[in-house]
């Protein structure tokens, strides 16, 4: 498992209908070899469908799909050079771990012995060297998951597909396994397409994130780019919470824009904004509350909740309510307190519409 | 396109073989006797297709060859789209042409006069299709399948497209073609010309349709009598089945295990055996009749022979089936519903009446319709007990083998019978669609079922206990009857019947099967053992396709298959002899026709079982296998089949047992050479040889129990040391 040749993935104007329902509208997407790309989005947005089309388990209604430069649109699943880790793992319950891992190798025409050796190797890679004789039912959830990964990886596919691989693990294990997967991907250098609906997970493992909404790409980019420069309220809110409020772009100075939010002036990267009415996304942690000052944007605390390492507030202002996370826990403000709001330099973005 | 080439190469080799290496036409005396090898290149009946064209002057076959070569030309095309199109076109034209020439050209030239007038008469005709012609037809079908696969249909999976095509082809040939032939036959004269007189006359025959029993004096027509009987049998078996189901699930009845055993009985009991046992009890010379005469001086009468007797026999026969269906239904009513009702201040009676019973309604309808259809299709009991008061299925039989052979009348009666059962089947489908509340959620419902209200549980016991005793007595008679010298006359015990049926002796150092039953017994075993695995294979493959694949026309496909279950055996029997005793396909008198009949009659049950079992195997397992480079054939073999073992056992056992016990279709299809046990027994009954008949029947029951046990051990169980996440057997049994 050291000689993987990662492949690229290209979707060209792919559309997928289920009967009269369109699950994927017009998907065009390029994935560079050797990167881990996450498909992120709320449930039902078409992530699994996209992944299954890549695996050959669904065929697109129109458009073309390329893997490693080769057009695979019409190729059945078993003739594609990809393999998949299923959400439910889909380990064959009547075969032990080793047989499960060897299965794909035997299907690909390896001799029984070679398949067994490679399978043992694969199990070792995921740290299950002496668990080969166990049936899936005799393994813990985390171990099953690793068998599923090993089973997919031993085929040395150009692309590894993972459909919500952590969703059946408990919260504590999730953090550990996602690190392991990322570590494995970087060590072996394969291309991976990773589906999840959890933005934390996506931020933690990805080279690039593709956020989907209603069968379309809402935004694609590096984790940092998506977090810092969301193009829409949907992205801003989906990639960590955000307050979206109306603002007024007063002028552009260089690549900065000067905005006015209910009387508070602020400077931030202008991006594609135009002078005039605009929308501003503000991370809850980027709002500074000052109970003493009496300038800029004034507001009143509606609710407050003390959560140990931070305090959460809901603040009513003339431009709308703000959800604020404040780390100065030694100063807890009670409801009805009048405050004035200010913004930090990071965590604000001008967004479309 | 590496893979596509390889499979196409195999197909082309098959096609070549069909022209070069196999006798084109049917071989008298059977293909598998291989006697044709000696005259293969010389005898004009046996030569392969290529010689039929060029040496024997059957020039019309050249077009089939041309179409084959057209398809073969696809091998040279690389573009999958174009190649696929060519294959589909060549295959479709090929199969159409094969059908056309088979139907249009018979023994002595054109089969239809219209062809004579428009094309001129043909110098020579042709016998029925043989190995070569059949193989070529199959090649054409696979041309179509591979063509579609190349074009990406079913995700380009040639195995799946191929299976679907072959299944559709087989179902067409073995179900739709015979039924169609029967319709055509009903308006044809002996020489094949169109003559609807017989059809019209029979359709209006008062002995079928008369309503005299209602509006005048005398008897009603056989159609109405059959309908009436079926309604009563359906109602009777449903009520009894419900009573049994309630006792088994809602009371503390001590013999629940015994009750469950009851469900196995109808499967292993040849259908006429109940009728036979009733004769021994209540017939003119029956024990009870004699006893009553002796004790109270009641004169023996013939009350048993007629609808009453048939009704009792049918209720006895079908109650276990209704029980099997209803036990799932009764258990399927979620206990939490009943508990909710009770917390809402409803007493047990109200809970049963207002909650449990309405929830069971679809199940009850289902059970009723099963009883109805079974009664309509029942042939054995009416034959034994009907006397002169026949029902449709026996009338059909007598129209074929009776004193006046009247195929047109048989066809008309069969059509009437078929309309009744198909109507019932459609009614069931409509009634059940969207009404299945009593389903298992999969999430374990905790809680206990409500007990029955007192008065209800007393009446349920009142029905179940006597009926159970009655059943035990009836089956006791079956065993006991084989050891009694002559019923009604001499009740001394004897082994004579068994000896006559099953004696063996050593002659000249070799074992000689001297008993009269051996011949039909071995034939039965042979045919049952051949057809069981075929039935299971076809059934499970179909189930796989229905559950796991999506394709246009799938629901029609499924519907047609399930519908074939509602075709009474008698109808199948009559349609098979009408369809398969003339070219293009001639099979009457062979073992093949029996095997085909069993496979296609019993397949729906295999399908049903397969569907139930396969729906419980997570689909992601197949998908995982596909992404692990296994094609769908390998997936089926390595992943699905091992997980389906219980369903395989069930399908094998069921089809084996049905092949042994069924009579209705078989009785039309047996021949001197291939006689089956059941038709032999019926022959014995007709000659009044009850002793041997009973002895033979009990022997069959014993053999079936033995074989079932062996099957079970052979196939083994799934090797999964785990808690089955879903219950292994579906609790909700939908029979028909
Ligand atoms: N086989 C199918 N038939 C019909 N609709 C489907 C099918 N598979 C998915 N869909 C629909 O397509 C949409 C996208 O589904 P999916 O890709 O599974 O979403 P997710 O992003 O949660 O993985 C959903 O609305 C779903 O209902
Ligand atoms: Mg999903």
Interface touch A135/B720, C-beta < 8 Å: yes
* Token pair in block for residue A187: 């060590």
Which of these, B642, B641, B646, B654, lies nearest to B708 by C-alpha position?
Answer: B654
Write the pLDDT tens digit of every residue in A200-256: 899 999 999 999 999 999 999 999 988 888 888 899 888 888 899 999 999 988 888
Q: How confident is the model at residue B339 (pLDDT cuts 50, 70, 90)?
A: low
pLDDT in tens, B485-497: 877 667 778 888 8
Distance CA B161, CA B167 (A): 10
With CA atoms as reference, report the closest residue to B234 among B421, B426, B430: B421
- The set of residues, in sequence order, having a beta carbon less than 8 Å from that of A109 and lying 6+ positions away, is none
Query: What is d(CA B113, CA B120) in angstroms, rounded to the nearest whole number?
Result: 10
The secondary structure of chain A, three-state, reads CCCCCCCCEEEEEEEEEECCEEEEEEEEEEECCCCEEEEECCCCCCHHHHHHHHHCCCCCCEEEEEECCEECCCCCHHHCCEEEECCCCCCCCCCCHHHHHHHHHHHCCCCHHHHHHHHHHHHHHCCCCCCCCCCHHHCCHHHHHHHHHHHHHCCCCCEEEEECCCCCCCHHHHHHHHHHHHHHHHHHCCEEEEEECCHHHHHHHCCEEEEEECCEEEEEECHHHHHHCCCCHHHHHHCCCCEEEEEEEEEEECCEEEEEECCEEEEEECCCCCCEEEEEEECHHHEEEECCCCCCEEEEEEEEEECCCCEEEEEEECCEEEEEEECCCCCCCCCCCEEEEEECCCCEEEECC
Pocket test for ligand 1, best of A16, A20, A23 (most atoms within 8 A of CB): A23
CA proximity to B474, closest of B293, B697, B168? B697
Q: What is the mean pLDDT of residues B571-585?
A: 84
Torsion of CA A230, A232, A238, A240, to 10 degrees: 40
Calculate the average pLDDT of chain B.
80
Q: Which residue has the higher pLDDT, A324 or B365?
A: A324
Q: Which ligand is nearest to the CA of A45?
A: 1
Q: What is the mean pLDDT of residues A25-53?
A: 93
CATH class of A243-351: mainly beta
Nearest to B623 among A57, A151, A155 (CB): A57
User: Which residue, among B395, B397, B393, has the nearest Cα to B420 in the 3D structure?
Assistant: B393
Query: What is the pLDDT confidence band of residue A22, given thresholds at 50, 70 and 90?
Result: very high
pLDDT at B581 over 50: yes
| Other residues' Cβ atoms within 10 Å of the Cβ of residue B7 | 16
Question: Tens digit of pLDDT for each residue in B591-629?
Answer: 888 899 888 888 877 887 788 778 778 888 888 898 888
Higher-scoring residue by pLDDT: B26, B220: B26
A193 to chain B, any CB pair closer than 8 A? The answer is no
Section A74-79 average pLDDT: 82
Whether residue B535 contacts residue B603, with contact meaning beta carbons closer than 8 Å, is answered with yes
Decide if B698 contacts B305 (C-beta within 8 A). no
A211 in contact with ligand 1, CB cutoff 6 A: no
Out of B75-89, B167-181, B605-619, pick the least confident. B605-619
Alpha carbons within 13 angstroms on the beta-carbon side of residue B546 total 27
Reading the block at residue A149, the tokens are: 């990964």
B119 token code pair: 């094309």
Interface of chain B toward chain A, CB-CB under 8 angstroms: 3, 80, 152, 155-157, 618, 620-621, 623-632, 634, 638-639, 642-643, 718-723
Percent of chain A surpassing pLDDT 70: 98
Q: pTM score, two decimals?
A: 0.76
Nearest CA to ligand 1 atom 18: A48
| Nearest CA-CA partner of A123 in A148, A143, A86, A150 | A150
What's residue B724's pLDDT?
36
CB contact under 8 A, B626 and A78: yes
CB spacing of B620 vs A57 below 8 angstroms: no
Give, as residue ranges, everything with CB less than 5 Å from ion ligand 2.
A 48
Tokens of B45: 């009946």
CATH, domain range A9-228: 3.40.50.300
- Sole residue written with tokens 């059949």: B134
Please report which helix (H) or strand (E) contains residue B581, including its range: strand B581-582
| Cβ pair A282, A245 in contact under 8 A | yes
Angle between helices B158-171 and B518-548 (to 10 degrees): 130
B626·A57 Cβ contact <8 A: yes
- Give Cα A137 to chain centroid, integer Å: 30
What integer is the mean pLDDT of B43-69? Answer: 84
* pLDDT beyond 70 at B191: no
- Which tokens belong to A271? 């991006």
> How many CB atoms within 10 Å of residue B436?
14
pLDDT of residue B325: 79
Task: Report how far residue B560's alpha carbon sits from residue B579's, in angstroms, rounded to the nearest whole number.
Answer: 19
Proximal ligand: closest to the CA of A87: 2
Our CA-based measurement puts residue B326 at a distance from the nearest CA of chain A, in whole angstroms, of: 32
Cβ of A178 less than 6 Å from ligand 1: no
| A92 close to ligand 1 (CB < 6 Angstrom) | no
Q: Whose CA is nearest to atom 16 of ligand 1?
A: A46
Instruction: Give the nearest ligand 1 atom to A43 CA.
Output: 22
Per-residue confidence (pLDDT) for residue B509, from 0 to 100: 73
* Residue A27's pLDDT band (cuts 50, 70, 90): very high
Q: How many CB atoms lie within 10 A of CB B285?
A: 14
User: pLDDT at residue A5 above 70?
Assistant: yes
- pLDDT band at B734; cut points 50, 70, 90: very low
**Which among A85-89, A114-118, B707-711 has the top mean pLDDT?**
A114-118
Residue B230 confidence (pLDDT) above 90: yes
Beta-carbon contacts of residue B293 (< 8 Å; ≥ 6 apart): B299, B300
Contact with chain B for residue A110, Cβ under 8 A: no
Note whether B316 and B274 are within 8 A (CB).
yes
Cα–Cα distance, B5 to B11 (Å, whole number): 10
Min Cα distance B562 → chain A (Å) is: 25
Lowest model confidence (mean pLDDT) among A108-117, B164-173, B640-649 = B640-649
Which atom of ligand 1 is nearest the CA belonging to A51?
Answer: 17
Determine the pLDDT at residue B446: 46
Task: Please say if the pLDDT value at position B440 is more than 60.
Answer: no
DSSP one-letter code for B194: B
Q: Alpha-carbon distance B736 to B366, whole Å?
A: 8
What confidence tier does B733 reach under pLDDT thresholds 50, 70, 90? very low
**Chain A residues within 8 A of B721 when measuring between CB atoms:** 135, 137-138
To test ligand 1's pocket by mutation, which of A46, A61, A195 has the most ligand atoms within 8 angstroms of CB?
A46
Q: Per mean pLDDT, which range of B77-91, B151-165, B273-287, B325-339 is the poorest?
A: B325-339
Tell whether ligand 1 has an atom less than 6 A from the beta carbon of residue A144: no
- Residue of higher predicted confidence among A150 and B441: A150
Q: Which residues of chain A make contact with B639, given a CB cutoff of 8 A?
A: 92
Identify the H or E element spanning B216. none
Span B523-547, average pLDDT = 88
Please state the separation of Cα B498 from the chain's center in Å. Answer: 30
Over the range B185-213, which residues count as b (16 or more CB within 10 Å of their CB) and which as e?
bbbbeeeeeeeeebbeebbebeebebeee
Atom of ligand 1 nearest to the CA of A21: 5
Tell me what pLDDT residue B675 has: 86
CA B561 to chain centroid? 11
Instruction: Look at strands B109-110 and B105-106 and give their pairing.
Output: antiparallel
**Which percentage of chain B shows pLDDT scores above 70?**
88
Residue ranges of the alpha helices (H) in B492-615? Answer: 496-502, 518-548, 554-563, 569-579, 591-614
Q: Is the dihedral of CA B251, B361, B425, B374 positive or negative?
A: positive
Nearest to A184, CA basis, from A125, A144, A141, A132? A125
Residue pLDDT, tens place only, B20-47 = 888 888 877 777 777 777 777 777 778 8
Domain boundaries, chain A: 9-228, 243-351
Are residues B330 and B432 in contact, defined by beta-carbon separation less than 8 angstroms?
no
How far is residue B203 from each of residues A155, B194, B209, B391, B404, measured CA to CA in Å? 68, 16, 8, 16, 17
pLDDT band at B732 (very low <50, low <70, confident <90, very high): very low
A151 touches chain B (CB under 8 A): yes
- Give the least confident one: A340-344, B276-280, B503-507: B503-507
- Average pLDDT of the residues in B470-483: 83
Measure Cα distances from A257 to A249, A297, B217 in Å. Answer: 7, 18, 104
Cis? peptide before B584, omega within 30° of 0 = yes
Other C-beta atoms closer than 10 Å to the C-beta of A85 total: 27
pLDDT of residue B736: 34
């Amino acid at each position: 498992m050291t000689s993987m040749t990662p492949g690229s993935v290209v979707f060209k104007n792919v559309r997928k209908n289920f009967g009269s329902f369109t699950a994927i509208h017009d998907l065009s997407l390029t994935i560079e070899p050797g990167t881990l790309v996450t498909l992120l989005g709320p449930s039902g947005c078409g992530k699994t469908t996209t992944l299954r089309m890549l695996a050959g388990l669904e065929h697109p209604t129109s458009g073309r799909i390329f893997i490693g430069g080769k057009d695979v649109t019409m190729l059945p699943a078993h003739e594609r050079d990809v393999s998949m880790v299923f959400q439910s793992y889909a380990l064959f319950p009547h075969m032990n771990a080793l047989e499960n891992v060897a299965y794909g190798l035997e299907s690909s025409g390896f001799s029984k012995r070679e398949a067994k050796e490679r399978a043992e190797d694969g199990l070792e890679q995921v740290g299950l060297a002496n668990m080969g004789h166990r049936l899936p039912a005799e393994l813990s959830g985390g171990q099953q998951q690793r068998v599923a990964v090993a089973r997919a990886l031993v085929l040395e596919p150009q692309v590894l597909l993972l459909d919500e691989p952590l969703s059946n693990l408990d919260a504590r294990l999730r953090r550990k396994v996602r690190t392991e997967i990322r570590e494995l991907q970087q060590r072996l250098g394969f291309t991976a397409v990773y589906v999840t609906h959890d933005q934390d997970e996506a931020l933690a493992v990805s080279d690039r994130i593709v956020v989907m909404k209603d069968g379309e790409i809402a935004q694609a980019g590096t984790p940092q780019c998506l977090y810092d420069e969301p193009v829409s309220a949907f992205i801003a809110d989906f990639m960590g919470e955000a307050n979206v409020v109306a603002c007024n772009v007063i002028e552009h100075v260089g690549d900065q824009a000067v905005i006015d939010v209910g009387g508070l002036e602020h400077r931030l990267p202008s991006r594609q904004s135009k002078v005039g009415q605009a929308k501003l996304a503000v991370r809850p942690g980027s709002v500074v509350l000052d109970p003493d000052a009496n300038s800029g944007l004034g507001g009143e605390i509606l609710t407050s909740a003390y959560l140990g390492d931070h305090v959460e507030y809901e603040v009513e202002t003339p431009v709308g309510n703000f959800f604020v996370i404040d780390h100065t826990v030694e100063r807890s403000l009670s409801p009805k307190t009048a405050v004035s709001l200010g913004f930090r330099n990071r965590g604000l973005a001008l967004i479309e519409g | 396109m590496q893979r596509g080439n390889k499979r196409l190469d195999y197909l082309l080799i098959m096609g070549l073989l069909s022209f070069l290496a196999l006798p084109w036409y049917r071989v008298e005396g059977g293909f598998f006797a291989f006697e044709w090898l000696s005259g293969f290149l010389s005898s004009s009946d046996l030569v392969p297709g290529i010689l039929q064209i060029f040496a024997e002057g059957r020039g019309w076959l050249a077009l089939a060859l041309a179409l084959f070569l057209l398809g073969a030309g696809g091998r040279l095309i690389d573009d999958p789209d174009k190649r696929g199109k060519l294959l589909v076109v060549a295959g479709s034209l090929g199969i159409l042409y094969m059908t056309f020439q088979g139907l249009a050209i018979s023994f002595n030239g054109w089969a239809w006069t219209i062809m004579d007038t428009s094309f001129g008469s043909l110098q020579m005709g042709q016998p029925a299709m043989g190995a070569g012609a059949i193989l070529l037809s199959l090649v054409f079908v696979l041309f179509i399948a591979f063509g579609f696969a190349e074009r990406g249909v079913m995700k380009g999976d040639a195995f799946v497209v191929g299976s679907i095509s072959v299944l559709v082809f087989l179902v067409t040939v073995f179900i739709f073609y015979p039924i169609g032939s029967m319709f055509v036959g009903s308006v044809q004269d002996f020489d094949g010309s169109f003559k609807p007189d017989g059809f019209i006359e029979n359709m209006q025959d008062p002995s079928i349709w008369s309503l005299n029993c209602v509006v005048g004096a005398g008897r009603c027509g056989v159609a109405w009598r059959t309908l009436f009987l079926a309604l009563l049998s359906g109602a009777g078996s449903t009520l009894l089945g419900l009573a049994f189901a309630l006792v088994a699930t809602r009371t503390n009845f001590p013999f629940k295990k015994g009750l469950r055993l009851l469900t196995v009985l109808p499967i292993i009991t040849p259908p006429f055996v109940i009728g036979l046992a009733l004769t021994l009890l209540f017939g003119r010379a029956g024990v009870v009749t004699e006893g009553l005469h002796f004790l109270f001086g009641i004169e023996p009468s013939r009350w048993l022979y007629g609808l009453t007797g048939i009704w009792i026999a049918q209720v006895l026969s079908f109650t276990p089936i209704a029980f099997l269906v209803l036990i799932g239904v009764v258990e399927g009513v979620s206990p939490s519903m009943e508990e909710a009702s009770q917390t809402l201040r409803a007493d047990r009676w109200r809970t049963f009446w207002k909650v449990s019973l309405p929830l069971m309604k679809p199940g009850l309808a289902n059970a009723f319709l099963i009883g109805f259809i079974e009664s309509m299709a029942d042939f054995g009991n009416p034959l034994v007990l009907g006397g002169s008061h026949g029902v449709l299925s026996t009338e059909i039989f007598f129209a074929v083998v009776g004193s006046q052979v009247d195929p047109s009348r048989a066809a008309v009666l069969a059509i009437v019978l078929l309309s009744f059962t198909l109507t019932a089947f459609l009614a069931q489908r409509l009634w059940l669609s969207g009404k299945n509340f009593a389903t298992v959620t999969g999430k374990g419902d905790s809680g206990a079922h409500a007990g029955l209200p007192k008065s209800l549980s007393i009446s349920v016991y009142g029905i179940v206990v006597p009926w159970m005793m009655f059943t035990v007595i009836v089956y006791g008679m079956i065993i006991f009857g084989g050891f009694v010298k002559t019923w009604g006359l001499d009740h001394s015990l004897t082994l004579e019947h068994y000896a006559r049926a099953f004696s063996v002796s050593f002659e000249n150092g070799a074992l000689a099967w001297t008993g009269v039953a051996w011949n039909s017994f071995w034939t039965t075993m042979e045919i049952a053992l051949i057809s069981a695995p075929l039935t299971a294979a076809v059934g499970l493959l179909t189930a796989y396709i229905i559950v796991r694949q999506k394709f246009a026309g799938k629901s029609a496909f499924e519907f047609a298959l399930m519908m074939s279950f509602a075709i009474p055996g008698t109808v199948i029997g009559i349609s098979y002899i009408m369809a398969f005793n003339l070219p293009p396909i001639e099979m009457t008198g062979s073992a093949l026709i029996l095997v085909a009949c069993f496979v296609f009659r019993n397949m729906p049950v295999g399908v049903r079982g397969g569907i139930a079992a396969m729906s419980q195997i997570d689909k992601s397992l197949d998908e995982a296998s596909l992404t692990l480079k296994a094609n769908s054939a390998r997936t089926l073999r390595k992943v699905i089949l091992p997980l389906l073992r219980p369903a395989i056992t069930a399908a094998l056992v069921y089809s084996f047992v049905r092949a042994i016990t069924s009579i209705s279709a078989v009785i039309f299809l047996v021949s001197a050479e291939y006689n089956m046990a059941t038709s032999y027994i019926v022959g014995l009954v007709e000659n009044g040889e009850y002793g041997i008949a009973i002895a033979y029947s009990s022997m069959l029951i014993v053999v079936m129990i033995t074989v079932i046990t062996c099957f079970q051990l052979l196939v083994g169980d799934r090797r999964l040391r785990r808690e089955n996440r879903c219950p292994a057997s579906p609790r909700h049994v939908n029979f028909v």
